[in-house]
Amino acid sequence: MFSNLFYYLLWVILRLGTGFFYRDTWRKQIVGLDNIPTDKPIIFCVNHPNAFLDAIIVASSTRKRVRFLVRSDVMRNPFQRAFLSFIGLIPIYRMQEGIENLGKNDETFSECHKLLKQHKAIIIFSEGLCIQERRLRKLKKGTARIALGAEEAFDFNLDLQLVPVGINYAAHAWKFRSRLSVHFGKPIAVKDYQDVYQSEKAKAINQLTKDVEQAMAAEILVISNKEDDLLVEQLEHVVFNDWNQNAQQPVASTALARHERSQELLRLLEYARANDPQGFSELRETTSEYSNLLRKHHVNDASFFRSIDPDAKKRALIFPKSIVLVLGFPLWMFGVITNYIPYQVPYRIAQKIVRHIEWHASVNVTIGVFFWLIWWLLQSLAVALIFRNWFVLFGFMLLVPIAGVFAYWCWRQVRMLVGLRRVSRIKEPERLSQRRQQILMRLQVWRKNKTV
C-alpha cells in the first residue's frame, strides 16, 4: 500500500519534471496509449538512448504501475537494493557483473513470472545497452526468453502481451526543452508462438526477438547510416518550417508533427541515396555550407525563415510579444530571481559529474525536480516567517512556478528578437537564401519523383 502511494507520488513529480524539461504538452507527445491492454500482463519493450530517464518517461506516460529490469550493478549496497526494489526495480545479472552471478537470474525470472501472473507490467530495454543514437540496435534475446518462459511456466495461459515502445528524442536528447515523443505500438501476443516454442525453443526465441525488433523499429526514427546523423539534424530545421508552411493542412508545431516530418525526410534520403547518389552528395555539401553560414552569423534557420517569409513573420507576433515583454517585465524578473538557481545548479552538477552523454539529462532532470521543490519550499518558508500572512504565502507559492514558466517564455522571445536583428544585419543574405532554396528544391524534386 505504502509502496504504491510512494510510487504514484514520484509518478506525479517526475511526470511534471520531464514534461517541463522536454518541449510540448504530454497530450501531444504520447501516441498509441490505446494499444496498451488494461486487463493483461504486459512487457514494454523499449529502446534505450537516455539512461534511466527512459524508464521515467515510459512509466509516467501510462497510469499503469510498472516494474523495471535494470543492471544489477546499480544495486551496489544493501540500502540501494532495498530502496530500488521498493520502487519496483528488479536486477538482471550480465556477464560483465561476473559469471558467478548469472545463476541469480533464475530468481529474477521467477519474480518476473510472479508479477506477470498478477497482470502487472514490466519495462525491459530490449537492446541491452544504452547509446544515445537515433537508431535501433540489434535486440538481445533476453526479452523473448523471459516472455516465453513466463508463458511456459503457466501453460501458455497468461495471455502475455509485448508492447513495442519507441522513445523519439530530437538530435540532442540531453538538452533542456528539446523535443520528445513516445510511441506505443500494437501489442504482440506471446501465446501465438506456443507451437513453435514447444517444438523448437531456439527458433521461437529468435522469431519473437525478430518480430519485436521490427515492431520497435516501426515506432522509432531510425537513421540507418551513422554518417547521416548530422545531415538529418541540419535538414530537420529547414524542412519542418517550409513543408509545414506549404502543406495543404499545416500541422501543429509539436514533437509528434516533427517526428512525422522527420520520417518523411528519412524516406526521401533513402530514396535519393539509391536513385540519385550524385544529387545526394551535392545536397550534403549544400546543407553543410548553409549550416556553416548560419553559424558564422550566429543565427538559426527559424530566424532566417521568419525574415524571408512574410507569413512566418506575421505568425511570430513580434509587436504584441514585445508589448508583453515590456509590461510583464516585473513578473519576468520575479521569475528569474526565484527560479534561476534551481535552473542552473542541476545543469552545472550534471556537467561536472557526468562522463557519458547518455546520463546527462537523467541526472539533470532528477536533481532538478527535487532541487526545485526544496528551493521552492525554503523560499516559501522565508516568506511565511517574514510576512506571517497566509494569503501572501499561498500567493507566493502559486506565483513562483507561474513566473518561472513566464520567465522562460520571455527568454525565448528575446532570443527570437535577437535572431531577427542579427539576420537583418547580414550584409549578403542572398547567399543564405540561395543555399536554402537549393536544399528545398532538390528535396521537392525527390518528393515528386518518389510519388510518380
pLDDT, one tens digit per residue, over 136-168 is 999 999 999 999 999 999 999 999 999 999 999
Query: SS3 of 413, please?
Result: helix
Please check whether residue 267 is in contact with residue 221, taking contact to mean a CB–CB distance below 8 angstroms: no
Question: In 255-389, where does DSSP find H-type helix?
Answer: 255-275, 277-296, 301-308, 310-315, 318-327, 329-353, 360-387
CA distance 190 to 158: 9
**Amino acid at position 439, single letter:** I
- Domain map (residue ranges) of the chain: 2-217, 226-297+428-451, 318-424
| Cβ within 8 Å of residue 272, ≥6 positions away | 279, 280, 283, 446
Q: What is the pLDDT of residue 213?
A: 97
CA–CA dist 127, 140 (Å, integer): 6
Cα-Cα-Cα-Cα dihedral sign, residues 255, 373, 33, 187: positive
| Per-residue pLDDT, 93 | 80
Cβ within 8 Å of residue 241, ≥6 positions away: 301, 302, 305, 309, 312
Block means of pLDDT (10 residues each) for the chain, 452 residues, are 83 90 74 92 96 93 90 78 83 74 83 94 94 93 94 95 95 89 96 96 97 96 92 90 58 68 91 94 96 94 84 73 95 97 96 94 95 97 96 97 96 92 90 94 90 63
Q: What angle do CA 216, 132, 353 make, to 5 degrees?
A: 140
Q: Which residue has the cell 553560414?
A: 293
pLDDT value at residue 253: 55
Q: Compute the distance between CA of residue 173 and CA of residue 180 in angstroms, rounded to an integer.
A: 8
Q: Phi and psi at residue 282, in whole multiples of 5°?
A: -65, -35
332 class by beta-carbon count within 10 Å (0-12 exposed, 13-18 middle, 19+ buried): buried
Q: Specify whether domain 2-217 bears CATH 3.40.1130.10.
A: yes
Distance CA 390, CA 161 (A): 51
Q: Which residue has the cell 510511441?
A: 183
For the segment 241-255, what is each residue's pLDDT rounded down to a tens digit? Answer: 777 655 444 445 566
